[in-house]
Amino acid sequence: MKNFFYLEGAYLILGGIILLVALFVSTRPFMAKGAWKKGLFWVSVVLAVLIGAHYKVTTNRMEKVKTAFENGKTILCESRMLRKAAQVVYIKKENDWSLKGDDFVSPNYARPFFSARCIVK
């Protein structure tokens, strides 16, 4: 739960905007009475399921990446430093990489790589 707001913050904000739009549309005069209750309920349920599923998939992938790294496999991480050149960084334990919390760090790189943005090769 520690990373929930960090991982899903943008989706929670978008979900809030979607709920406001649903509230606005469901309170228009052409809508049936009580439509706002049903509309907000179902939109909330769908958003909660989608955000929860995304969080579950992301945290499962993070655990797989961490386990694979500890077992010596190669990890591919998105590099945002040079978009035109190498867009992927190959991370291996043998190449001075270590895992600190959820971040891959190396003395050869200026910034860490978050495990949620990585996959197993």
* 10-residue stretch averages of pLDDT, the chain, 121 residues long: 80 93 88 85 94 91 92 85 71 88 87 87 85
- What local confidence, expressed as pLDDT, does residue 30 receive? 86
Contact 64, 121 (CB under 8 A): no
Contact 120, 91 (CB under 8 A): no
> What percentage of the chain's residues is helix, strand, coil (to nearest 5)?
55, 15, 30
Euclidean distance between CA atoms 13 and 32, whole angstroms: 28
- What local confidence, expressed as pLDDT, does residue 41 receive? 92
Angle at 26 between CA 20 and CA 31, to 5 degrees: 165
The model's pLDDT over 57-84, given as tens digits with 9 standing for 90+, comes to 998 999 999 999 999 899 998 876 666 6
- pTM recorded for the entire structure: 0.79
